[in-house]
Structure 1
Amino acid sequence: MSVQINLNQPPFSFLDDTQLDWLTSRLDLVFYPAGAVILNEGDASPGLFIIYKGVVEESDQSGEQVFSQYGREDIFDVRAVLESRCKHKYTAIEETLCYLLKAKDFIRLIETSDDFSIYFKTDLGTRQSLVEQRDNSVSEFILARIDEDTIRPPVYVNGQTNLARVATLMHEQKYDAVLVRSGHETGIVTGTDLLKATLMADKGKQDKVADVAQFRLIEVEYGDFLFGALLKMTQHQIERVVVKRDGEIVGLLELMDMLSLFSTHSHVIAMRIEQAKNQQELVVAAKRLDTLIESLAGQGVHVSAIMELITTLNRRLIQRAFEIIFPQRLRNSVCILVLGSEGRGEQILKTDQDNAIILKNEHDREAVKPLLQQLHQALLDFGYPPCPGGVMFINDSWIETTEGWQARVGRWIEASTPDAMMNMAIFMDAEPICGDAQLFYPVKASWQGEDLRTSLALVWFAKQALQFETPLTFLGKIREDHGKVDIKKGGIFPLVHGVRSLAFEHAVDECNTLKRLEILQHKGVLEEDVAQGLRDALLFFIRLRLRQQLEREGENRGLSQQLELDKLRSVDRSLLRHAFHRVKKFKQQLFVHFHMENF
């Protein structure tokens, strides 16, 4: 029989060719007229239904409570097959054709295909991970771990060894770095360190190696993913890390060894940023970031790892521009804050600028403003469009001293108006990235007082999470607007702000939503399954949005929040519907938790 549905997508793409051919041969095409009951509550299901044409409604036995509706290529009722009875009633709303895979055949496939079985028996996060891996054909590098084949055995020297002897040893061993034992400390010295010490400093060949070694080692664990080690190298602007196993050093992991395995060369971009002498060179590096993102996404790198890496590179880009533009005498007179998704570390493609500045002294304002204009222009050149709401450090309303920001936070909380609460939400995600970070900490403390967290302002703050409706119909289907859905308003914002509200209440210090969820779970504020469900939903929303953003052409594609539903496969629509239901349930929990019935 010729099958008229797409079986080259999850979960059927988890089957090998032989299993897929067998599946196709076992499908029957069944017809149901409008109004026909396909399954009744309590029935033993004949098998797995895949809709070819028509609409099927899931309801209670009376038909009064409708749970969901299913359309082309949607699947039902897996649970009935696995649990041997149907919990709900399924009715054809219009003339419907379905492919039926008999229960015994479905069970056979589950027993013979691990991924096929896992997809149907696990949660949203596991399912989307399976889909993501299969979609992107995950590269061997992404799955590779640090092992004996990727590390170099350590070579040690005594801290009293002279520089000439160390240089000779490194040449003989063909190593660019050795470990240095000095008392109870272990450090590292590289060929570059020796060169700088002898040519640029006042060290001679007979000086001790302990005097030039670095004793703050950056470490990774044996067995960790290679990608995680690459991320650490990028974050710390280094070219090697120490590998430990059970607390003992077992080797060194070198950047050049890794680059031979990893074609995206994120560290090369980091080095270009580090070595840039002017803004034009930074612009060249910035323009390579989108290519890097496309490469990482195409290789199947998990979206959370992409977010972390791109956040690291973006912040270093801004820091380097700050160092080029601001003279040394003014760098510690200010603190540059990134806000919004950049502050949370949840930005991938560049969105609009959200930033602010803290002045150490009010009298520095006039000296700093021309420099901020230059930095703002640099961000424009990097690809960050202006913020439509004006949340930028070039505007006077986002420039204050520490005391000024403390007073402003107090006014926002006291006012508790929607605008004030949104300003508070933006500022709560602030992260200091340039200048003197110490200027920010007293400001942050101003919204973490016990009296503020128990005030009515907290309820008004949390209420903002409910301002947009979840895009689900009464029947549980995705509600679209001319074939599109706003993923930020419908899913990302209520989830992020709801978690932010709980973080506000419990004085959670972290900005990142995933880390906030982890802490809230640890504190017992959220049950483990709720926290995990929200984590899975957020990552799915971001991944789906990124996929469609990358398909768009032109600048500022990172600003697009519209998902085109007709471009989604049935498996993605199913996962999206599931994720929206999690957000809807979370909003109901927030309503009860913050006692919003009186507001």
Structure 2
Amino acid sequence: MDSTSGGVPLLSLDAVVIDTETTGLDPRKARVIELAGVRLSGGKLAGDGAFRQLLRPGAEKIPAETTRIHGIDDAMVAQSPTFADVWPDFHRFLGQAMVIGHTVGFDLAILKRECDLAGLPWLRPRTLDTRLLAQIAAPDLAGYTLENLAAWLGVVAAGRHSALGDATTTARVFLALVPKLRDHGIRTVAEAERACLALTSVLDGQAQSGWIEAVEAPARTDAERTLKRFDSYAYRHRNRDIMRVPPVFVESGASVHDTLARLASEKISAVYVAPHAASGGVKAAEAGIVTERDLLRAIARFGAAALDLPVGQIMSRPLTAVPADAFVYRAIGRMNRLKTRHLGVVDETGSVVGALSARDLLRLRAGEAISLGDEIDDAADAPALAVAWAKLPRVAESLLAEGLSGRDIAEVISRELGALTRQAAVIAERIMRERGHGDPPCGYALIVLGSAGRGESLLAMDQDNAVIFEHGEPDGEQDRWFAALGTHVADILHEVGVPYCKGGVMASNAPWRGSVATWKDRVDHWITRSRPADLLSVDIFFDLRAVCGDGGLAVAVRQAAFAAAEGELAFAKLLVEGISIPASLKLFGGIRTEAGRIDLKAAGLFGLVAAARALAIRYHVMDRSTQARLAGVKALVDVSQSDLDALVEAQGVFLDLILSQQVEDIAHGIPPSNTVSVKRLTARDRDRLHAALRAVTAINALTRDLLFRQ
């Protein structure tokens, strides 16, 4: 991703931090006598590659009063090059990177003046100012000098009033500001720019001093607004749509000779290896793979004797696999990263149900955005995860341009949110081991709930996750281990850009983790003994999907929950007890807004999703997505079918409009939300929104009729 893109997270920013020492404080008269810069790479201060150069200010003398500040006098710079000599090298050092400085508007103004004096071209870089960022993070701080900020943030300010020392201190101050800005909801470059631009009195004062604007809101370039188009097939279809079924298995004891014969007869390029005779149910972790190349390498090494070897001796294990219901772009990205030509395809329990080869994917073209999935899977820490995650809005924008619906794109976002959560768990497990807590004490599944489980997440999201582990009591040894894991996962996701759940639905909290037995007891309590107040977050549990660990645990608990809820009409009624659909249409057809926007989640999406979930529980429809749940209910009842169709259409409209608004808001540094500006809608979209808002007015009556229909 372009390091100057507004969507880049501050946590993992590539930038150059600059500082100058000058002959005076008036940028309309002063000259540069020291120029320095240090690099930030992936949100960390680079250990090498700094730039520092003393400069001779032409015939101008360095005033004694400024020498007392920075210690640079005429003798020190007498043999130094001029600005014109050094600028080409410094310009190359800057490249296209974001530039950061403390009161950077002064540095920009004086650099521009030097370029003008030397007859050199000047192109203003994209910049952030630590002085402005600090005022956002701590508006009541006594002062915002570099010394004040360093003391407040616990940063060692070494080499003060030297350009290199101040650039280094500024870099450290910026890094220390990042988590404080995150606490204010500022995570990306564009959000930081927007917040800085609101400090109008500070900016006006700097402008009056002859400084260049420390921050400006850049126009979106054509390259960022109209991204490279790519074939969206890989985002429309799932691995199960193109996989070879069933996969061809041989026993690990089968000979190379017999395996070659099997390849020839089946006209395939690889077989999968099971530890014992099996026709199905082989876990990817237990399986191996032998390809044509493996067989040829064995023959080249052992000669004719290789034909009698068991394939288990030459197989690759464990089998690299992708989920059957993941999108094809995930398989493409994994093959590219691992330089492999074959993948297994697994179901929710981790059992191999199909096979994919490079040949299966050959007809698919993939653009740069394909790499998103495997960049998440390959990330080693939170900053690397943040870099990958920051691509998501641009992928969503590209898919909108390709004509995909909001519902289709929500599935892609949800899959990647699941992958992000999984990788956070992988990193968290490593942290646990490094801190002496060892490996997981038993098998477990990390699950996502709510919209991520349903495949309906958009770009305004927070965490909804839980843990199911094999055995252990509440607050027992296993529970405490998974509490620590859940805390690490929550912290990593929050750092990356998926905020803590305001309702506390996270595995770090006791109500959202437990053994299989604990979860079954918990579900039994919900269904048989709960009051409406007890069920504020319970309903999203029925959307659960495993993203890490033993998916079989999640499948078993979910099936048990649906089985326990079957026929329990009182429980289904409780789930919709608090649904309230506000009157969003005015008497003469106008749309009710607040500050020109309508919250489409509150106006109908929330109630629609909750109603579909309750109906799915009532009719034992095991599908997760709202669309599939309504279709499942429709297949079982012979009334209200047109109303159910209208709700499916309404949900699609809400998702389309919210996502489009979120993409636009993110580009302008506005945190994404579920509100939509009505004025920006086309006439067609306004008509669609009117119809959707009318459709959801029937939810309460429709749900009541269908819940208690015999």
What CA deviation, in whole Å up to 9, does each residue of 1:182-233 have, x standing for no partner? 9999x985577669989999x98656796549999999xxxxxxx9644665
* Mapped contact 2:441–2:481 kept (Cα < 8 A): no
What CA deviation, in whole Å up to 9, does each residue of 1:352-391 have, x standing for no partner? 1111223421221223332222211221132101111111
Q: Does 1:262 align with 2:262?
A: no
* Mapped contact 2:506–2:512 kept (Cα < 8 A): yes
What CA deviation, in whole Å up to 9, does each residue of 1:7-26 have, x standing for no partner? xxxxxxxxxxxxxxxxxxxx
Tell me which residue corresponds to 2:516.
402
Q: Of the candidates 352, 370, 387, which is equivalent to residue 462 of structure 2?
A: 352
Change (3 A) 1:176 1:503: closer
* Mapped contact 2:447–2:467 kept (Cα < 8 A): yes
* Mapped contact 1:177–1:188 kept (Cα < 8 A): no
What CA deviation, in whole Å up to 9, does each residue of 1:30-58 have, x standing for no partner? xxxxxxxxxxxxxxxxxxxxxxxxxxxxx
* Mapped contact 1:304–1:539 kept (Cα < 8 A): yes
Matched residues in 1 for 2:228 and 2:332: separation? 25
Matched residues in 2 for 1:587 and 1:523: separation? 19
Change (3 A) 1:408 1:450: closer
Matched residues in 1 for 2:360 and 2:707: separation? 50
Tell me which residue corresponds to 1:366.
480
* Mapped contact 1:521–1:528 kept (Cα < 8 A): yes
Q: Does 1:493 align with 2:606?
A: yes
Q: Of the candidates 573, 589, 592, which is equivalent to residue 686 of structure 2?
A: 573
Q: Does 1:471 align with 2:584?
A: yes
Tell me which residue corresponds to 1:320.
423
Tell me which residue corresponds to 1:283.
386
* Mapped contact 2:640–2:702 kept (Cα < 8 A): no
SS at match of 2:514: strand
Q: What are the equivalent positions in structure 2 for 1:196-207 lying under 5 Å apart?
A: 206=307
Q: Of the candidates 447, 470, 473, which is equivalent to residue 337 of structure 1?
A: 447
Matched residues in 1 for 2:260 and 2:565: separation? 63
Change (3 A) 1:451 1:282: closer
Change (3 A) 1:161 1:351: same
Matched residues in 2 for 1:205 and 1:561: separation? 62
Change (3 A) 1:164 1:421: closer
SS at match of 1:330: coil
Could you list the runs of 5+ residues in structure 2 that have no partner in the other structure?
1-225, 280-287, 345-353
Change (3 A) 1:593 1:400: same
Deviation at 1:493, TM superposition (A): 0.9
* Mapped contact 1:189–1:214 kept (Cα < 8 A): no
Q: What are the equivalent positions in structure 2 for 1:150-299 lying under 5 Å apart?
A: 190=291, 206=307, 212=315, 229-230=328-329, 233=332, 254=359, 257=362, 261-266=365-370, 268-299=371-402
Q: Of the candidates 490, 497, 501, which is equivalent to residue 383 of structure 1?
A: 497
Change (3 A) 1:556 1:317: farther
Matched residues in 2 for 1:312 and 1:199: separation? 42
* Mapped contact 1:240–1:254 kept (Cα < 8 A): no
Q: Does 1:592 align with 2:705?
A: yes
Q: State the AA in 1 paired with 2:541.
A: F
SS at match of 2:578: helix
* Mapped contact 1:307–1:348 kept (Cα < 8 A): yes
Deviation at 1:534, TM superposition (A): 2.3
Matched residues in 2 for 1:348 and 1:252: separation? 31
* Mapped contact 1:452–1:458 kept (Cα < 8 A): no
Deviation at 1:513, TM superposition (A): 1.3
Deviation at 1:427, TM superposition (A): 1.6
Change (3 A) 1:191 1:567: farther
SS at match of 1:400: strand
* Mapped contact 2:422–2:446 kept (Cα < 8 A): no
What CA deviation, in whole Å up to 9, does each residue of 1:421-471 have, x standing for no partner? 322212222222223334445543554346763342322222333x23241
Report the structure number with the largest CA radius of gyration. 2
Deviation at 1:552, TM superposition (A): 0.9
Matched residues in 1 for 2:293 and 2:397: separation? 33
Change (3 A) 1:275 1:585: same
Q: State the AA in 1 paired with 2:549.
A: G
Q: What are the equivalent positions in structure 2 for 1:495-514 lying under 5 Å apart?
A: 495-514=608-627
What CA deviation, in whole Å up to 9, does each residue of 1:273-314 have, x standing for no partner? 333444443333222222222222222233333233333333
What CA deviation, in whole Å up to 9, does each residue of 1:527-564 have, x standing for no partner? 65444332222122111100000111379967511111
Could you list the runs of 5+ residues in structure 1 that have no partner in the other structure?
1-134, 170-174, 220-226, 243-248
Change (3 A) 1:194 1:519: farther
Aligned-residue sequence identity (percent) comes to 24
SS at match of 2:547: strand
Change (3 A) 1:178 1:451: closer
Q: Of the candidates 651, 654, 663, which is equivalent to residue 550 of structure 1?
A: 663
SS at match of 1:567: coil
Tell me which residue corresponds to 2:646.
533
Matched residues in 2 for 1:181 and 1:398: separation? 38
The normalised TM-score by structure 1 is 0.59
Q: State the AA in 2 paired with 1:423.
A: S
Deviation at 1:485, TM superposition (A): 1.1
Tell me which residue corresponds to 2:570.
456
Matched residues in 1 for 2:366 and 2:467: separation? 38
Higher strand share goes to which structure? 1
Change (3 A) 1:137 1:232: closer
SS at match of 2:482: helix
The normalised TM-score by structure 2 is 0.51
Matched residues in 1 for 2:555 and 2:256: separation? 44
Q: State the AA in 2 paired with 1:401.
A: S
Matched residues in 2 for 1:485 and 1:371: separation? 38
Change (3 A) 1:492 1:234: farther
Further displaced range: 383-392 or 505-514: 505-514
Deviation at 1:503, TM superposition (A): 0.6
Matched residues in 1 for 2:444 and 2:699: separation? 39
In the alignment of these two chains, the number of paired residues is: 432
Tell me which residue corresponds to 1:305.
408
* Mapped contact 1:372–1:394 kept (Cα < 8 A): yes
SS at match of 1:358: strand
* Mapped contact 2:634–2:641 kept (Cα < 8 A): yes
Change (3 A) 1:350 1:162: farther
Q: State the AA in 2 paired with 1:297.
A: L
